[in-house]
Amino acid sequence: MKTKENILIVGAGLCGSLLALRLGQRGYKVTVMESRPDLRKVDISAGRSINLAFSDRGIKAMNMVGIADKVMPLCIPMHGRLVHDVEGNIFMSNYSGRDNEYINSISRGDLNALLLTEAEEHEAVDIIFNKRCTKIDIEENIATFYCYETKKEIEVKADVIFGADGAGSMLRKSYYLERKFLFSYSQNYLSHGYKELSIPPTATGGFRTEKNALHIWPRGDFMIIALPNLDGSFTVTLFLSYDEGEYNFNNLTTAERVQEFFEAQFPDLIPLIPELTKEYFENPTSPLGTVKCSPWSYKNNTLLMGDAAHAIVPFYGQGMNASFEDVVVFNEVLDQYEGDWEKVFKTYEKIRKKDTDAIADLAIDNYYEMRDHVANPIFKEKRKLEMDLEKNFPEQYFSKYSMVTFNEDLPYSKAMKIGRAQDKALLNMIADDEIDTTADLKEILKKVQAETNEILDEDTVANLKH
Amino acid sequence: MKTKENILIVGAGLCGSLLALRLGQRGYKVTVMESRPDLRKVDISAGRSINLAFSDRGIKAMNMVGIADKVMPLCIPMHGRLVHDVEGNIFMSNYSGRDNEYINSISRGDLNALLLTEAEEHEAVDIIFNKRCTKIDIEENIATFYCYETKKEIEVKADVIFGADGAGSMLRKSYYLERKFLFSYSQNYLSHGYKELSIPPTATGGFRTEKNALHIWPRGDFMIIALPNLDGSFTVTLFLSYDEGEYNFNNLTTAERVQEFFEAQFPDLIPLIPELTKEYFENPTSPLGTVKCSPWSYKNNTLLMGDAAHAIVPFYGQGMNASFEDVVVFNEVLDQYEGDWEKVFKTYEKIRKKDTDAIADLAIDNYYEMRDHVANPIFKEKRKLEMDLEKNFPEQYFSKYSMVTFNEDLPYSKAMKIGRAQDKALLNMIADDEIDTTADLKEILKKVQAETNEILDEDTVANLKH
């Protein structure tokens, strides 16, 4: 086998560091350039996405690189959504009827640090911080970086450059601006932004509310969620419109207004967030956007991966898992075509793009589901029925959520297609009173499956061949 | 009423010149700046979109400005698709079962010239050519133009600037690059491009093939269409993949290959296109893209309109009609809120955006329909049945195509929603042999309507509130 190429990875975030680790394991010479300081030495979180949902697709990726056992201690299992209404009533809605299926809250920083350390164990992997990518010449394969320490620009030439540089990717920008080829591109923002707040631990380091759940305060036009951290705190995220409705980010400009908003809508949260107004005004308000593009690669030289190729909104808890799965799929394609980068890149996109498009769309769906539908009676009845089906037929019934989250070998695009048809079947059968809840559950299962298949068939015919 | 504002329109194409005419009629002081020379004096077509499909939404716009009687003599009615198979067999597929419903072939240049002349009749409308927009300052409301005659840049300040500057809009680029607000934007290319060729008139100025039809040579992965011109010629458009399949734009590099391609796939066209290989290599290959964006306006200062706001692929023959309809809708909003530009702009987008999104999606659907489905037996049976239904129940049945093309008072978004459900109902009923074609047509109509409504209801329940 010929000497492996020099690889440059732009970005040492979750995707870039996992990719570096895997390529290091495969024997490549890898340089990773990261604009921020080493997060193992400096706290750089600053009120943004402190913790994330980690589930089976992510775990599969950790198994690929052999570090799942080191990741699990960083995880806090969340068995379901714990829904809080305005009166302070709560109810739990499990993620699955199977006991072994749950998602995890994990610190982005802790996981990223572990991946960096594991990658650096490989002598051929070099991670360099404080270098911001300012330009990529996709013809000559040269990336230019501004060094925050020397204040100078440096150029790095590599055989292959991976853009794992996140939603604001410089490599993607090069594709867009250089106009060397027809580049399909979209950036779509929701009308809502988000802001992070926090529930501190108790004086003794305990949790102020239920630890093993994803808390949610759905209010129709806006919502709050909270995820637990290992230190007993919760990271709280407010999703709110920028400029619509009685309360929005643009008109919540005083401490009094913020206090009034929380008293009216989230009274049970007020005692839990002691620094409410301080955090509200200190932490940034960030937009929620979806990015899709194609092609992801140029010749045999450069490839977009992770958020750089497909940034999604956070409502399915799949952003990190999808980026990790990118590396799993890429690794499989590399097994097949190693040595022919252009073939690897094209095959990878052909296999992967439909799935990242699907999870992007599913995440938007869940934005509405979480805000509105979790409190809708038909939706609640559907969830209850699905829990019963999963509990009683653990090998035969999988909700859309389970297919997306816990069935790591089912591609997102199939999970979406089947899951949407199944949801449609269930919601219509419930709305039309076609499900006799006193009937035998096995009969209900058969009916749901038949109806789902009919919906899939009808869609196939309506779309003819395409 | 206060003195009307100074309006600057960037672009004197079909949308810009109609907008100038209408705003001139309403008493505004209008300056239009156009990058190209005056097409009434110089031939600038150069092998691109020489003729277009013109139908009821466009006619409604011409009625708004009172020039429909001047436009009609420029039109050649096309009653249906005349489909040519590889063996040279032809069959006609009418656009509607109602005799008075047909589309028209019209010369882009002739229509644009008429609109320019009509706009210039108004003293307050000034149209200036050979000025290419290079920059728009959306805060200060200043547009910069490069003058091809003086080779100098000039600045124009206006109270309101309209970007009617087409798919490559400079105003849209300013929105994107200045990052003053969250700008959702997408550009999506099909894998196919297009190239124009021509069938000349006969020696006596007659038509070499059927005059009153849109000719189509569907071949699955590629196709050709031809539209008639007043001088007896036809403009022929080849739609072909850039790089996939046995024949594609990238590998048709010699006259022999082009000849071979046409002999294999379009033998009946060869005698009709005497300059085939010459035109093939002289005329450009152009991409097919869809552009969507939001917001269309910034403050009370600037607004995108026509292709600048929503470029679509040509497969529904609605690009020009949609841009003209923009001006109709804008005019109605202006009736309501004249004097408050910000309110006008926001209301206009709120009403209009869902409809331009819909026609963009419908045009993509038709790309597949024209290439593949017109030759599909289920599709053919559906079209036949729809013709019968329209003929027998002209007040009660409207195909999707009729809703989009001939029902100018039905918004595109509704036409899409109802039309897609109806297509799904029909295709499935035909595929499942649920339609007894010997049965009473009235019974069939009722069945189709019932099935369509059920599909719409089921979709509504499945989407819950959103």
CA dist B166 and B183 (Å) reads 18
* Predicted pLDDT of residue A11: 98
CA dist A406 and A321 (Å) reads 11
Interface contact B464-A372, CB threshold 8 A:
yes
Rounded to whole angstroms, what are the CA distances from B354 to A36, B258, B358?
A: 41, 41, 6
CA dist A303 and A34 (Å) reads 17
Q: How far is A466 from chain B (nearest CA, A)?
A: 7
For residue A182, list chain B residues with Cβ-Cβ distance below 8 A. 189, 242, 287, 289
Interface contact B289-A182, CB threshold 8 A:
yes
Model confidence over A436-456: pLDDT tens digits? 877 899 999 999 999 999 999
CA dist B290 and A389 (Å) reads 43
Q: What are the DSSP calls for A330-392, one per residue?
A: HHHHHHHHTT-HHHHHHHHHHHHHHHHHHHHHHHHHHHHHHHTGGG-HHHHHHHHHHHHHHHH
- ipTM metric: 0.91
Model confidence over B57-100: pLDDT tens digits? 999 999 999 999 999 999 999 999 999 999 999 999 999 999 99
Q: How far is A184 from chain B (nearest CA, A)?
A: 4
pLDDT band at B466 (very low <50, low <70, confident <90, very high): very low
For residue A185, list chain B residues with Cβ-Cβ distance below 8 A. 185-188
Q: Are B35 and B385 in contact (CB under 8 A)?
A: no
pLDDT band at A466 (very low <50, low <70, confident <90, very high): very low
Model confidence over B312-371: pLDDT tens digits? 999 999 999 999 999 999 999 999 999 999 999 999 999 999 999 999 999 999 988 877
For residue A289, list chain B residues with Cβ-Cβ distance below 8 A. 182, 184
CA dist B13 and B30 (Å) reads 15
* Predicted pLDDT of residue A388: 95
Return the closest-CA partner of residue B4 out of B344, B343, B348, B339: B339
In the predicted model, is pLDDT for residue B386 greater than 90? Answer: yes
Q: Is A380 near chain B, with CB under 8 Å?
A: no
Model confidence over A402-438: pLDDT tens digits? 999 999 999 999 999 999 999 999 999 999 988 887 7
Nearest by CB to residue A428, choosing from B185, B379, B461, is B461
* Predicted pLDDT of residue B464: 63
